[in-house]
Amino acid sequence: MPDPSATRPFPTPTSSPIPNPGHYPDADPGSNPEPNPKSSPEPEPRANLAPIPVIGFVAPSGTGKTTLIRQLVPLLRQRGLGVGYLKHSHHQVEVDRPGKDSFELREAGASQVLLATGERWIMQSVQRQPGPDPELAGMLALFDPRLVDLILVEGFKFSAYPKLEVHRAALAKPYLFPGDPSIRALISDAPPPAGEHPPLLPLGDPAAIVDYLLSLLIGDAYQS
């Protein structure tokens, strides 16, 4: 079992079968929050750390992606990994409440509002003019590799990055993998599809999914 207090419990091996899109040179090392107290007294500078492995979960709405990811996170934590989560939404999102100082200052015109406590901080960055959906690379660059060892992404299905497809037989939806070479495995409660297909993982066995995910990303070091 790796030491969960380590700044980066594992490096990303260059021989990994999944390319790693988690490192972006335009990320600003000076924009990080204070290091987590679990880190070493002098944490490794962000720019010197290995890229953060990234894996996505894609499926039609209603398949249960979020439910599955919620089952995977505590299992990954048991392996000593710090987990990041990125969700793409097509809906308007509001994380604040009218009447709160941060809400009122944002409504007054502040372009960025940072709410900080001893437990967590929340940055709201406002797009005053509607624009295109955010790019995956830019969103991943916001994660701090001193705190996060693996990023689970929900959505961004049209971006080229490593993904697992979640399939539920009761929905009778077509598979996505024939049109997306970035899909590395299927997570399904159905029998294997006809013809060639990625490896099939049981939807009802989160531990098996974690084992497969980690074997893809970092080899056998975290296998149970």
Q: What is the pLDDT of residues 30-40, one digit of tens each?
A: 444 444 444 44
Q: What is the mean pLDDT of the chain?
A: 76
Virtual torsion, Cα 42, 43, 45, 49, nearest 10 deg:
150
pLDDT-based confidence at 13, cuts 50/70/90?
very low
Using alpha carbons, select from 206, 211, 151 the residue that is nearest to residue 220. Answer: 211
Domains, the chain, ordered by start:
53-90+139-224 (3.40.50.300), 92-132 (no CATH)
pLDDT-based confidence at 2, cuts 50/70/90?
very low
The torsion angles phi and psi of 124, rounded to 5 degrees, stand at -110, 120
pLDDT score at 103: 75
Residue type, 164: L
Task: Look up residue 125 and give its two tokens.
Answer: 């960055």
Which tens digits make up the pLDDT trace of 184-219?
999 999 998 999 999 999 999 999 999 998 888 765
Which tens digits make up the pLDDT trace of 91-140?
566 667 787 777 777 777 777 777 788 888 877 777 767 767 788 998 89
Q: How far is it, in rounded angstroms, from Cα 12 to Cα 126? A: 33
Q: Per-residue pLDDT for 43 more than 80?
A: no
Q: Is 115 left (phi over 0), alpha (psi -120 to 50) or beta?
A: beta
The torsion angles phi and psi of 177, rounded to 5 degrees, stand at -60, -30
90/1: higher pLDDT: 90
pLDDT score at 123: 79
List the beta bridge partners of residue 212. Answer: none
pTM reported for the whole predicted model: 0.71
Q: How far is it, in rounded angstroms, from Cα 113 to Cα 224? A: 42
